[in-house]
A and B are shown apart, each in its own frame.
Chain A
Amino acid sequence: AQSVTQLGSHVSVSEGALVLLRCNYSSSVPPYLFWYVQYPNQGLQLLLKYTSAATLVKGINGFEAEFKKSETSFHLTKPSAHMSDAAEYFCAVSPNFGNEKLTFGTGTRLTIIP
């Protein structure tokens, strides 16, 4: 079975500061890993995905994430936070063959301090 753990249900950073949202996964098979963002009253939007190609994945809006197998982590980063980054962020995992379910973490709410 696959699962993800997102450390920190709420994260606050100052505008212009580094954003770091943590995600650790558990998977008995090689995983696909995803970050989704959810703005208020909107659906989830895919930020980026790891599908066993490059371990450093670049996504939309300046976000990136690095797959570290030794640490079972897939942390999301952005060098400089913008006010428009305020949203809820979800990490998700899926086995990379056969099973099409995504298993989501409980989410991290990102607040940007002006």
Chain B
Amino acid sequence: GAGVSQTPSNKVTEKGKYVELRCDPISGHTALYWYRQSLGQGPEFLIYFQGTGAADDSGLPNDRFFAVRPEGSVSTLKIQRTERGDSAVYLCASSLRARQNYGYTFGSGTRLTVV
């Protein structure tokens, strides 16, 4: 596609529920990144993929968070047993290669609200 697409744009869920957030990167981009942006803060790294494999998942806050990219294109971020503290904007970005000098393209984000 022309840009990075994230769905849904907004998600409201109850505490304890399971949610999935989807990211569709730019066609041909092999690197895909997930970040989380809490209110009033800069984005914080969660995980990045080079192809199908998670190259670095050190930013995932705990084992309730998991992400997959089974075919090296679309990625899904999964959050189990959601907590109110998970409320944030979840940003996805993609890059032609996993090298910073290529630069990222970010999607518009999914705003997750846990009530």
Contact = CB atoms under 8 A, between A and B. Distances in A.
Contacts of A42: 108
Given A101-B45, A101-B48, A103-B45, A43 B107 contact: yes
Nearest to B4: A43
Interface residues of B, number: 28
Contacts of B105: 46
A44 B106 CA distance: 6
Contacts of B103: 34, 46, 49
A102 interface: yes
A98 to B, nearest CB: 10
B59 to A, nearest CB: 7
A106 B41 contact: yes
A90 B45 contact: no
A41 B41 CA distance: 15
Nearest to B40: A106
B100 A94 contact: yes
Given A44-B91, A45-B106, A101 B59 contact: yes
Contacts of B107: 43
Contacts of B44: 104
A49 B93 CA distance: 16
B79 interface: no
Interface string B34-52: 0100001111110010000
B115 interface: no
A21 to B, nearest CB: 13
B91 to A, nearest CB: 7
Given A41-B108, A43-B106, A43-B108, A102 B101 contact: no
Contacts of A104: 42-44
Interface in B85-115: 91, 93, 98-101, 103-109
B71 to A, nearest CB: 21
A100 B41 CA distance: 20
Interface of B: 4, 31, 33, 35, 40-45, 48, 55-56, 58-59, 91, 93, 98-101, 103-109
